Amino acid sequence: MMYSIFFKQTIRLVFIFLLQVLVLKRINLSFSEFNYIFIYIYPLFILLLPIKVNRILQLTLALAIGLAMDMFYDSPGLHTAALVLTAYLKKIVLKFLEPVEGYTVESSLGMVKYGFNWFMIYSSILLFVHLFVYFMLEAFAFQFILGVMLRTVFSFIISQLLILLYMVLIRPK
């Protein structure tokens, strides 16, 4: 059982990582002066980790994945910081969105178990925070807040649509 979960998560990580760095990184959605759209779906791996995964392990995985993304994107620590924060906030968001019947330890966090609306709210909160932190750290100044917000909103829309497409097509459990 544990081996099966580990194997599925490893396959998911490799697939999402390769999709992000080999395909989505190369997609340029900038139009002249409009360069506010970036596609980041790699936080989905952390979002889909089962509830029973230890928080320290989640943070460690977020650190490792973030460092790997930073190497491929040549962004010193930006992906790492944003993903570690996302992993840290995951438990808080889950507590906030906990259904009346509660979570089961074996629960996966996909649409299959909790439905489309629950997953939309859950993934939207964490993805938006992730993107905002990433772009805020990239700008590193509040004077660029308008650009940060535009990048966050437009990147959120396209990234969330691709995450939902992934969830509908792959239907991870």
More confident of the two residues 31 and 18: 18
- Which pLDDT belongs to residue 173? 62
- Which pLDDT belongs to residue 151? 94
- Tell me how crowded residue 154 is: count the other CB atoms within 10 A of its CB: 17
Give the domain ranges of the chain. 2-170
DSSP 108-160: --SHHHH-HHHHHHHHHHHHHHHHHHHHHHHH-SGGGHHHHHHHHHHHHHHHH
Q: Which residue bears the tokens 């360069």?
A: 35
More confident of the two residues 138 and 3: 138
More confident of the two residues 171 and 146: 146
- Which pLDDT belongs to residue 3? 66
Buried b (16+ CB within 10 A) or exposed e, 18-41: ebbbeebeeeeeeeeeeebbbbbb
More confident of the two residues 142 and 49: 49
Q: What tens digit of pLDDT does each residue of 42-95 get?
A: 999 999 998 888 999 999 999 999 999 999 999 999 999 999 999 999 999 999
